[in-house]
Amino acid sequence: MAEKKITYLFGAGASYYAVPILNGLSDKFRLVAKELKQSVSAGSRYGSFDTKPYRNTIFEFSRDLEHLAEMSEQYGTLDTYAKKLDLNAENESLQKLKFLVSIFFTIWQGHFHKKEVIEENKNQKLFYNDIDSRYKSLVANYLIKASNAAPKLDNNVRFLSWNYDNQLESAFSLFFKSRLNLTELNEQIKFLPNNESKFQNNEILHLNGVSNFWINDSQILDRIFQQDDELSNNGIVRRIAELYNPSNFSKCLSLINYAWDDNSSKLKEATRILKQTDILIIIGYSFPTFNRAIDSKLLSGHDNTFEKIIYQDPNASEELLELFHINFVGKSDFRILKQVDQFHIPPEYFPQGRKRKRSIKAQGY
């Protein structure tokens, strides 16, 4: 049997145990803003770290984050508010929004998730994790051991994501001999564009962009928060104070984007991946209306010849996928999975695993 090419399509629900989603996002914007203001309030001091020089900028950043929470609620979703700004050519506000989004998701995953509760009932509390553990078991299955070299992602597996977060990348980084930072990981498993903001041969493709990256003053694609110690309380305060000014807002445009932005290079790469996909696995994705024009371009038509689609989501429905007139080939298989304790790995993958031990060179996407 020929090896099957497997593609995952992630929505926000795939990061449920690590990153706030939907209505919970506004609450967490406010929580982070409150904690940052408390960090630099009058008299605040952390050992030898004097917060006074950073106070004004941190208060400005926090007010803007609170405003974003308010607008997200007023317009229903963050994306809807972003669309309003785009329609009215409020470019500076839209650039600021993207900058806020990139910083928020970075500092949430790196610091502010700690001790925060996702769900609570009479018997227990469920806390956020730094990495949703479901990603860890998923990537462990698809990494291949290589003699005298770093592990490699199976060349028959690719990932598309509508999420800004670094959950998938952070999970991959755990499985190298020394945990890699995101820049180092991109050298092993490509998820970033090149310096011209072009996407080619990506193994992970973020359709909405990815947090913590921008084009720096030297016109080089780089991380916004460079070092682990910048994601401590003091480091976050210091780094935001350095970064938060209008001249920097537009630098996130290359990495954070929306469905109506010019994504031609990214969509070309996503189309190429899906065209060669045998098994499509959709996880935690509700197909929001703003994304449906792109989803339709990617999923519909005769270029795609999926043999199987697995839709894993507590609210999954066949009716949603019927919107896209997906083309199946031969005896197609469509399944809905509402159990989400682990991300689905198709059984077709495992018989081929024994063969891969002889060679990591599989036919590429």
The residue among 331 and 226 whose pLDDT is bigger is 226
**Whether residue 201 is found in the same domain as residue 276:** yes
Q: Residue 66 falls within a domain, yes or no?
A: yes
Indicate if the pLDDT at residue 355 is higher than 80.
Answer: no
Same domain membership, residue 203 and residue 56: no
**Residues 97 and 162 both lie in one domain:** no
Give the structural domain span for 108: 24-118+224-250
Pick the range with the lowest mean pLDDT from 7-21, 129-143, 211-225, 290-304.
290-304
110 falls in which pLDDT band (50, 70, 90)? Answer: very high
d(CA 322, CA 306): 14
Residues recorded for the chain: 365
Q: Which of 54-68, 324-338, 345-359 has the lowest mean pLDDT?
A: 345-359
361 part of a folded domain: no
**Is 215 contained in some domain?**
no
What mean pLDDT do residues 341-353 have? 84
The pLDDT value recorded for residue 264 is: 86
Lowest mean pLDDT among 90-94, 239-243, 338-342, 356-360: 356-360
Q: Give tens-digit pLDDT for 265-281.
A: 899 999 999 999 999 99
How large is the average pLDDT for residues 166-179?
94
Residues 205 and 347 in one domain: yes
Alpha carbon distance 338, 307 (integer Å):
21
* Beta-strand pair 279-283/301-312: parallel
Backbone phi, then psi, for 338, in 5-degree steps? Answer: -100, -5
Q: Flag whether pLDDT at 90 surpasses 90.
A: yes
The string of pLDDT tens digits covering residues 7-52 is: 999 999 999 999 998 778 999 999 999 999 999 986 666 666 788 8
Whole-prediction pTM = 0.92
Mind listing the pLDDT tens digit for each residue in 248-266? 998 886 789 888 887 888 9
Mean pLDDT of 130-156: 93
Can you tell me the distance from the alpha carbon of 177 to that of 277, in angstroms, rounded to the nearest whole number?
31
pLDDT at position 217, please?
Answer: 81
Are residue 153 and residue 43 in the same domain, yes or no?
no
Residues in CB range of 320: below 8 A, 6 or more apart? 286, 287, 311
Sign of the torsion angle spanned by Cα atoms 225, 230, 236, 238: negative
Q: Is residue 72 part of a domain?
A: yes
Does residue 6 have a pLDDT over 80?
yes
Contacts of 118-127 spanning 24+ positions with Cβ under 8 A: 118/16, 118/17, 126/17
Angle ∠(344,345,351) on CA atoms, nearest 5: 155
pLDDT at 21: 87
Q: How many domains does the chain have?
A: 2
